[in-house]
Homo-oligomer: A and B are copies of this chain.
Amino acid sequence: MTDAELRAADGRVPGRRGRATRQRLLEQTAGMLRSTSYRDLKVVDIARGAGTSPATFYQYFPEVESAILVLAEEMSQAGSARLSGVVRDGNWKGRAAYDTALAVVEEVMAFWEDHRAVMRVVDLATDEGDQRFRKIRVALLNGLTNALAEVIEAATKAGRHPADLDPMATAGVLVSMLAHVAAHRYGFEFWGIRTDDLQRSMARILYTTVTGQKPPSGA
C-alpha cells in the first residue's frame, strides 16, 4: 500500500494531523501487544491509550488485526533481506560453511527475539487461515527459503545430494525447523533445554543438510 492510497474509513484523505493520530494508534497497538495476548486487545483500550476514542480507531483501521497487519508489513519488509542476506553473503565452502550455518541460526533466533510479539500474531493468524497474514509470513520466509534452496541446488550439481531431491522441499523443511524452534524457544528453556544447545543442533543439521557433508570436528 503506497502512502497515496491511504484513506480513512469514510474515503477522506488524511492530512498531517490525521496521520499523526494513525501513527499514535499504531505505536499504542505495538506497545500493548508486548504485554497483552492479542486476543485480549480491546479496541477501546488501544484508542484510550492513544488518547482518542474507539470511533477514531475505526477511521484508520477496519479492525484491530489490520493495525497489526501494518506492523507486520513493516517488519517483513526489513526482515526478509536481513534473513536471506546471511545465507547469500555467507561462505558455504569447507569449514567456513559451519560458521555460516551457525550465523544463519543465530540471525533467525535474533530476528524472532526482536519481533516476538508481532511474529506471534503472524503465526497465529496464519494458522487460523488469515490470508493477509499468510502472505506476509510467506514473503518474510520466502527469501530465506530461496537462498537456502540455491545453495542446496549448487551442492546437488556438485553431486553431494541425489539429483532427484527437491531443493525447495529441503529448504522449506529447514526453514520450518528454524521458525518453529525460534518461536518456541522459551518453551524449550522451560523444559530444561538450553538455547545454546538448540542452536548448535540446528547449525549442525543445517550444515549437513545444505552441504551434504559431516560437520567439522569440534563443531
**CB of A64 within 8 A of chain B?**
no
**CB of A30 within 8 A of chain B?**
no
Minimal beta-carbon separation of A16 from chain B (angstroms): 37
A214 to B215, CA, bound (A): 11
Q: Which residues of B contact A197 (CB under 8 A)?
A: 165-166, 168-169
Contacting pair A128 B208 (CB below 8 A): no
**CB of A24 within 8 A of chain B?**
no
Q: How many copies does the complex hold?
A: 2
Interface residues as binary, A22-47 with B (CB distance below 8 Å gives 1, 0 otherwise): 00000000000000010100000000
The 5 closest A-B pairs by CB, nearest first: A169-B197, A180-B180, A166-B197, A177-B177, A170-B201
Which residues 119-145 of A sit at the B interface, judged by CB distance below 8 A? 120, 123-124, 127-129, 134, 138
Interface residues as binary, A147-178 with B (CB distance below 8 Å gives 1, 0 otherwise): 00000000000000010011011101100110
Q: Identify which of A69-77, A89-97, A181-189 touches chain B.
A: A181-189
A128 to B38, CA, bound (A): 8
Minimal beta-carbon separation of A213 from chain B (angstroms): 9
Interface of A is mostly: helix
Contacting pair A166 B201 (CB below 8 A): yes
Contacting pair B127 A201 (CB below 8 A): no
Contacting pair A201 B176 (CB below 8 A): no
Q: Which residues of B contact A204 (CB under 8 A)?
A: 165, 209
A191 to B126, CA, bound (A): 14
Q: Which residues of B contact A172 (CB under 8 A)?
A: 181, 188, 191, 193, 198, 201
A157 to B82, CA, bound (A): 39
Interface size class of A (residues with CB under 8 A): 35 or more
Contacting pair B169 A176 (CB below 8 A): no
**With A124-B124, A191-B138 in contact, do A198 and B180 touch (Cβ < 8 Å)?**
no
Contacting pair A184 B176 (CB below 8 A): yes
Interface residues as binary, A186-214 with B (CB distance below 8 Å gives 1, 0 otherwise): 01100111100110111011001100101
A200 to B172, CA, bound (A): 12
